[in-house]
Amino acid sequence: MLKWIVLAPLIGAIINGFFGKRLGEKLIGLIASASVAVSAVLAFFVFFTKLLPLPVGERLITEHFFTWIKVGNFQADFAYLLDPLSGIYILFITGVGLLIHIYATGYMHGDPGYYRFFTYLNLFMFMMLTLVLADNLLLLFVGWEGVGLCSYLLIGYYIRRQEAGDAAKKAFITNRIGDFGYMIAMFLVFTTFGTISFVAKGDVPSFLTQAAALSPEAIWTFGTMTAIALLLFVGATGKSAQIPLFVWLPDAMAGPTPVSALIHAATMVTAGVYLTARCSAVVVKSPTAMAVMAVIGAATAIFAATIGLAQNDIKKVLAYSTVSQLGYMFLACGVGAITAGVFHVVTHAFFKALLFLGSGSVIHGMHEEQDIRKMGGLKKYMPITFATMMAGWLAISGFPLLSGFFSKDEILWKTWSTESLPHGWGKFLWVIAALTALLTAIYMTRMMVMTFFGASRFGKAHGHDDHHGDHHGDDHGHHGDPHESPAVMWIPLAVLAVLSIVGGFIGVPAALGGSNHFEHFLEPVIAHVAPAGESAHALPVATDHGTPHGAPADHVAAASAAPAHADAHHDVGTERLFTVISVLLGFLGIGIGAAVWLKNPLKPMSKVLENKYYVDEIYETTVIQPLEHTSRDLLWKVVDVRIIDGFVNGAARTFAGLSGILRHTQSGYARNYAAVILIGAIIIIGYFGFLATR
């Protein structure tokens, strides 16, 4: 059943790709949406009827498709692995993905490349499901590269727009930098452990099991685990847009809005977090790698949040918000709260997909306008879009009992109370994360106020912006009052709004009266970071008894460290106090945003923030132009043309000259040849005669 979860969208992509030109819009949309619906139904079925009923610690289902590569002691199977981590991912990938596909059937109506768009979208779903269900690092890398390819195709979907083409190339090249780190990490894993599989293959235990069993006293452990963890994180910084490789994601808004919602909010950008969680048994062995991850995550979070304060393109605000929220997720992983990071992945998928699709509804209703300075007062024109986006706005701002409140609060508390970082680091990073939470509430309130509240500012120019709208469908160039989107677009918004409101209840912490079902569900597959002075304890390797569906005895649970035990220092009262603080920060941010921008919606913002700290310009000056000049003026004109081509062409000219001289000896006259033979004979006889006289 697992392979059909993966293959169904591929079948949809093949049908639309080969026959889409002959099919109508309705049939194309039906095929694309139905293929994802099949994946979603199968995912929910196998999760709730096959995986969930299994005993805790034995929740593992594997399906071997075929042996892909087997050379010497290296083996990589095309096989799928379903456990609590991949199970959670396939639920929200297929569920949110289906809603986005349905939404896109209305949003892309009238677009000349309709069939091409849904072919790419289906292909992306296939690649993303391959990524999260892969049972080894190499197959995961296939999905990893596949989503990069599909991202390139979808960001550059508007092939006649220079902006879209540039953004697609930028995304592709930036991700290749990160992927290089992933590849080296994969090679290092194999040379260290003799396998790249997440489950046992024959008598060889998975590399996760071997990593979890490593003694901290082993001389080589620290350096090797640190190298692997940091190289994996390099890969994650590319996909998940962390400093310094975050620059591609905001530009990726050049693609259609459903692309932004699916790839850059709910799925692809969270692949780095998935990789970190999947390889947590390796990551937790390196305090250095975790410290780097936490610092970069916190820095990315606040850096992107400050930029989001000053953006005027509605999608750019959400793009920098995504970068900031991804920073939160890696901060959680770095402080040892990997389950909290994954929890935020899930809640973020709900409210950020909602906000992106809501922004698409606004753009659609505003006839392709994306500048929030030219909006205002839209709530009376688009009441459903406003109501649903309000749920997403409050969720991301940390409003009590909404989904973002629980996951963000968990990350803040785990950052404050962490014992996996050097003394005092957790407190410092908490201050940064708390300030980021405040800024998040401010810039999201600014976006909502400028879009939906106050007086209308339709058609008024407010300076030049480098955006041109999505230009999808048949509304392009059309003018008139804003209008509400059709039902095919607002129904997915309503579903996502409900999920944004109630989605956090799957992980209510004990301090707030819950039992944190989410954390307990993930415990067997996420490594636990031992407090300072302790070492993580490996779980005992599972026996063959009760392993489901022929799963190997060494399953993923055995690859992880022990589940988090009750912390003797845990102070419920303190945790509740910090919950109150985070709530107050959210309310304060909403209040500041409302007070400032209701009074002056066109309040000028810092040019430094508007221009994103000039990071792109700095990269252009310090990295891109030097590389271009070096490549053109040195590597091409000197090394290639003068040295390499000069050597090759010089050798050719030398032999051409020699052959030009020698060809005169081939005259075709027999007497000339006889004379040459005679002269040669005289020379030889003379030579031997000379030797005889001596």
Model confidence at 535, in pLDDT bands (50, 70, 90)? Answer: very low
User: Tens digit of pLDDT for each residue in 269-315?
Assistant: 999 999 999 999 999 989 999 999 999 999 999 999 999 999 999 99
pLDDT at residue 534 is higher than 50: no
pLDDT at residue 438 is higher than 90: yes
* pLDDT for position 188: 95
pLDDT at residue 476 is higher than 60: no
Q: How far apart are CA 439 and CA 445, in angstroms?
A: 10
Q: How far apart are CA 626 and CA 630, in angstroms?
A: 6
Note whether 370 and 363 are within 8 A (CB).
Answer: yes
Q: How far apart are CA 213 and CA 215, in angstroms?
A: 6
Question: Taking residues 364-387, what's their average pLDDT?
Answer: 91
**Cβ count within 10 A of residue 655:** 10
* pLDDT for position 275: 95
* pLDDT for position 139: 95
Q: How far apart are CA 337 and CA 372, in angstroms?
A: 36
Lowest model confidence (mean pLDDT) among 194-208, 424-438, 488-502:
194-208
Question: Taking residues 229-250, what's their average pLDDT?
Answer: 94
Helix (H, G, I), strand (E, B) or coil at 309: coil
* Cα 682 → chain centroid: 83
* pLDDT for position 465: 44
How wide is the angle at C-alpha 115 spanned by C-alphas 110 and 116, nearest 5°? 110
As given in the structure block, the two tokens for residue 341 are: 């990071």
pLDDT at residue 263 is higher than 90: no
User: Tens digit of pLDDT for each residue in 464-474?
Assistant: 444 445 656 54
* pLDDT for position 564: 39
Percent of the chain whose pLDDT exceeds 90:
68
Q: How far apart are CA 136 and CA 162, in angstroms?
A: 38
What's the number of CA atoms in the CB half-sphere (13 Å) around residue 292? 19
As given in the structure block, the two tokens for residue 20 are: 């889409």
Cα distance between the two ends of the chain: 96
Kindly report the three-state secondary structure assignment for every residue of 269-336.
HHHHHHHHHHCHHHHCCCHHHHHHHHHHHHHHHHHHHHHHCCCCEHHHHHHHHHHHHHHHHHHHHHCC
Burial of residue 225 (number of CB atoms within 10 Å: 0-12, 13-18, 19+): buried
Note whether 480 and 380 are within 8 A (CB).
Answer: no
Kindly report the average pLDDT of the chain as a whole number. 87
Give the bridge partners for 74, in sequence order: 71
Model confidence at 145, in pLDDT bands (50, 70, 90)? Answer: very high
As given in the structure block, the two tokens for residue 439 are: 């800024």
Query: 609: which residues sit within 8 A by CB, 6+ positions away?
Result: 306, 307, 309, 310
Model confidence at 103, in pLDDT bands (50, 70, 90)? Answer: very high
pLDDT, greater one: 28 or 219: 28
pLDDT at residue 667 is higher than 90: no
* pLDDT for position 195: 93
* pLDDT for position 458: 79
Give the bridge partners for 63, in sequence order: 80
Phi, psi of 421 (to 5 degrees): -110, 160
* pLDDT for position 459: 63
User: Tens digit of pLDDT for each residue in 115-129?
Assistant: 999 999 999 999 999
* pLDDT for position 540: 33
Model confidence at 218, in pLDDT bands (50, 70, 90)? Answer: low
pLDDT at residue 386 is higher than 80: yes
Note whether 333 and 297 are within 8 A (CB).
Answer: yes
pLDDT at residue 560 is higher than 50: no
Question: Taking residues 351-367, what's their average pLDDT?
Answer: 92
